[in-house]
Amino acid sequence: MEAASSHPGCSVTTVGRPDLSLERPETIAAVLRSQRPDVVINAAAFTNVDRAESEPDRAYEVNRDGAAHVAAMAEALHVPFLQISTDYVFSGSAIEPYSEKDPVAPQNVYGTSKLAGEQAVLAAHSTPLIIRTSWVFSPFGSNFVKTILRLACERDRLRVVSDQRGCPTSALDLADAILRIVPPIRDREPHPNLLHLSGSGDATWFDLACRTVEQALPSPARRPPLDPITTAEYPLPARRPVDSRLNCTAFAAHFGFKLRQWTEAVDDVVRRLL
């Protein structure tokens, strides 16, 4: 269990393995009973999209059953509950950014298991807030921006997929936004059960890679050239949605703010990493 940190309006305690494992419901009950939080946020998931194809049982155990256990425990303790979900619940064949009302049709095991998690959470908790986000990057853990920065230092040339489109989202911006909406949720102000929240603007992976490298290496002479390639040229076990842009106007209408442009957020994260 991590030490608590304070933010205006709330203090945060983060818990993870081994103290709390989504595959061990007894640990969820023990932690929530001892911590007695005002709001529970489940950001944990089986997130390896390609590995989920060969380990579907584990993906469902964590993303559906684990989420359901946390939601049910929060309900039993009469505590508001927030679940993080994904743009990968959509097929990616739409021509407009997806709204919360659009039909879901996941293309891979990860997306299907996260969608099952959404449904399980809605069944287990009376007033959950499910937030779907997308293309998350940050200075921490492993993510696309960090991988591109590493490869830009290691390789003479980079090939990056340019035919998938989404909304890149800084985990820092997402965390700030979530902390900003915790007080009204804690105070049980009415809210929709499902909202989309991503960085403003949209991009392909190629766009995101270019911005990352340009911010890290301002001198063109020092940058490795980036080549746009198709998804077919970079085969992976899991199918990805071609266009999973999220329409975040419902979140802005309800809470009165939106996340900044992804380009600014990338610049910030790269500056922190450097």
Ligand X SMILES: NC(=O)c1ccc[n+]([C@@H]2O[C@H](COP(=O)([O-])OP(=O)(O)OC[C@H]3O[C@@H](n4cnc5c(N)ncnc54)[C@H](OP(=O)(O)O)[C@@H]3O)[C@@H](O)[C@H]2O)c1
Among the residue ranges 82-90, 101-109, 152-160, 201-209, the one whose residues contact ligand X (CB under 6 A):
82-90
Q: Does residue 205 interact with ligand X by CB under 6 A? A: no
* 20 vs 109 by CB, closer to ligand X: 20
Q: Which residue of 31, 32, 39, 45 would you call a contact of ligand X, by CB under 6 A?
A: 45
Site string for ligand X, 148-187 (x = CB under 6 A): ----------------------------------------
Distances (CA, A) of 210 to 37, 137, 191, 257: 42, 15, 38, 28
Q: Which of 60, 98, 110, 234 is catalytic?
A: 110
188 Cβ partners below 8 Å, 6+ apart? 80, 127
**Do the beta carbons of residue 128 and residue 260 sit within 8 Å?**
no
Distances (CA, A) of 106 to 2, 36, 122, 183, 254: 34, 35, 18, 32, 26
* 107 vs 134 by CB, closer to ligand X: 134
**C-alpha torsion angle, residues 6, 194, 15, 150 (rounded to 10):** -90
**SS3 of residue 132 by DSSP:** strand
Q: Does residue 55 interact with ligand X by CB under 6 A? A: no
Q: Is 110 considered catalytic here?
A: yes
Binding residues for ligand X, rule: CB under 6 A, are: 16-17, 20-23, 43-47, 62, 66, 84, 86-87, 114, 133-136, 141
